[in-house]
């Protein structure tokens, strides 16, 4: 076996495999999940309070697409890798009410419950 002919081929094969592994790792770290719907919506008189859920270690990205007075709201979750506790968190997002309709990513109207200012927590 001629080492001068085998060595360049071996280096090329190992480099190709390493590049493929790096590209796959980069792709999975940069990939976000599907757009999620908010759990509920409350109209607080000038502000909309939207609740959402996520897991321990997850990273969130919120999207607001205004169209005149109307807007589409959603969020995406990038799930944490590795072992994470099975805990679901509930949080809220406050958005200024533009006076129009609010849509989810599927184009359905998000119905916001009217809340009396005295009943707000």
Contact (CB, 8 A) for 75 and 37: no
Instruction: Give the pair of three-digit tokens for residue 15.
Output: 């480099």
**Statement: residue 41 has pLDDT above 90:** yes
pLDDT at site 19: 56
**How far is residue 118's CA from residue 90's CA, in Å, rounded to a whole number?**
23
28 vs 15, more confident: 15
pLDDT digits (tens, 9 = 90+) for 44-78: 988 999 999 988 888 888 988 888 889 999 899 88
pLDDT at site 52: 92
């Amino acid at each position: 076996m001629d080492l001068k002919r085998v060595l360049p081929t071996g280096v090329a094969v190992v480099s190709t495999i390493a590049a493929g592994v790096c590209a796959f790792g980069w792709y999975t770290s940069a990939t976000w999940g599907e757009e999620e719907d908010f759990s509920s919506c409350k109209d607080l008189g000038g502000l909309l309070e939207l609740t959402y859920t996520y897991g321990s270690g997850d990273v969130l990205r919120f999207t607001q697409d205004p169209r005149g007075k109307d807007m589409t709201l959603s969020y995406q979750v990038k799930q944490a890798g590795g072992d994470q506790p099975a805990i679901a968190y509930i949080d809220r997002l406050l958005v200024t009410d533009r006076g129009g309709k609010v849509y989810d990513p599927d184009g359905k109207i998000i119905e916001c419950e009217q809340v009396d200012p005295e009943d707000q927590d």
